[in-house]
Amino acid sequence: MTETEQHLWLVRHGETPASRDGILAGWSNVPLTATGQDQARALRALLAMQTFTSAWSSDLDRTMTTARLAYGVVPTDERLREIHFGDLEGRPWGEVEPHHMSALMAFDGFAAPGGESLLDLRQRVMAFVAGLGPGRHLLFTHGVVIALLSREVGQKELIPTGTLRVIDWTNRRPLPAP
């Protein structure tokens, strides 16, 4: 890594009752399950061996708890929040209208009724990342935020809860996670 490059270490929060049960949580504050807490603790040894220019978390409980258990207390920023699912929050994935489901899965034209569009999400996340500058940045965030950033480097698959993805943001390419 050169001193002008920007690398993003993206950690998806640990398992929650909503993620386990396929329920859209969005901006709702849901706690980690015992499994989610264990997932976060399992990242601690790996993250402790790394040096970061900065570390940040979404301001939602599930990410702040993941950060605390995996790394320590870090500053929060609401721009790292999950997409706001609006009227869809709290609904099981299987009960979401097919047109919303397909638009979100395709990452094309999704706008949550009473919530946020993918374009809105993109604007706030990209503004946050642009403000980071060069360096290696550790971000505790959410599935759709990580998917948004990952698509910029050609990765379309969602990552499971409690896992890590590393991106060379400057050169728009995925990096192997250690």
Q: Of residues 7, 13, 100, 137, which has the active-site annotation?
A: 13
Sort 45 into a burial class: Cβ within 10 Å, 0-12 / 13-18 / 19+.
Answer: exposed
The catalytically annotated residue of 7, 15, 82, 137 is 82
Q: What is the dihedral of CA 164, 167, 169, 173, to 10 degrees?
A: -160
Residue 137 a catalytic site member? no
Contacts of 99 (CB under 8 A, 6+ apart): none
- Identify whether 13 is a catalytic site residue: yes
- The first and second tokens of residue 62, run together, are 């599930």
Catalytic residue IDs: 13, 82
